[in-house]
Structure 1
């Protein structure tokens, strides 16, 4: 294994949507797709069922990070989006710990689903975390 063979165990993901850099996140979950499959039992052949592929659906993608100066980037993006929600293409880049790219995904037709800000509790010693969830029309590895 060489130094270029880095596994995707990175703690950083950079997100940009429609030309807006939304910063880096610690988690990115939901990169995936699912094909709906319809089972068809053919008459006269009791030992075989046809598996017919149907619609392809894409999972929502969720990002989380501690609240930082970059939180303002999401607020500004939401201000633009709220006026008129239009799907925009974007990019997710998995980064090594030194922030150099490992792999990137082009994300097509992104729309915001949910942003959740942090809960502040003085009795809780954990970092304040924000979450961003997006829906999209598809992914391409680049």
Structure 2
């Protein structure tokens, strides 16, 4: 008998990537939630250390895991009237001081509950890019913020 998919488990299907939210500490103990168009840079990698002992009979190196590093996270969102949150945060950067905060990115399921969570530790804005302006364009104005951070924690609640 052919499988028509009616008996398939709900947990087998991959998650769609369009339903997500971004939260960060807005000060005074309140979390701020912003709607973003795109989030990228949620990757982490371990650098490779190659080593070969001088008396090794094998003519190749041994590869070992090294320092873990992660790339900057880029967030894109539409520009709204009187919304300067990114520039205000970026303007707080002074010589060797910056307002760092925890940032949480939640991939949401169909009920709105987090299904996958990425947490950035001590994130701070390293770059804010405004939109390009075109007199003959008809696109939405989009700004970009790039966040440096000190670690990426991934969990599935």
Q: Does the TM-score normalized on the shorter chain lie above 0.5?
A: yes
1:66 is displaced (CA, Å) by 2.1
Larger helix proportion of the pair: 1
1:134 aligns with 2:142: no
**Residue 33 (str. 1) matches residue 41 (str. 2):** no
Once the 2 structures are TM-superposed, how far is the Cα of residue 67 of structure 1 from its aligned partner? 1.7
Q: From the two aligned structures, give the one with the greater strand fraction.
A: 1
Instruction: Name the counterpart of 1:54.
Output: 66
Q: What is the CA distance between 1:72 and its match in structure 2?
A: 3.1
My pick for the range that moved more, 111-120 or 86-95, is 86-95
Structure 1 unpaired stretches of 5+: none
Cα shift readout 1:32-87 (whole Å, capped 9, x = no counterpart)? 112111212343332552112221111100011222358433234334x3364143
Q: Which has the larger radius of gyration?
A: 2
Q: Distance in 1 between matches of 2:109 and 2:37?
A: 12
Instruction: Note the alpha carbon deviations across 1:4-58, whole angstroms, 9 max, x for none.
Output: 9561422543231464525121211111112111212343332552112221111
**2: CA distance, partners of 1:103 / 1:2:** 16
- In the comparison of the two structures, how many residue pairs are matched? 141
Q: Distance in 2 between matches of 1:127 and 1:91?
A: 25
1:1-142 → structure 2 map (5 Å cutoff): 1-2=9-10, 7-17=15-25, 19=27, 21=32, 23-42=34-53, 43-46=55-58, 48-68=60-80, 71-79=83-91, 81-82=92-93, 84-96=97-109, 100-142=113-155
CA distance in 1, matches of 2:56, 2:136: 68
With CA pairs under 8 Å and 6+ residues apart, which has the higher RCO, 1 or 2? 1
Deviates most, 17-26 or 106-115:
17-26
Q: What value does the CA root-mean-square deviation take over the aligned residues?
A: 2.9
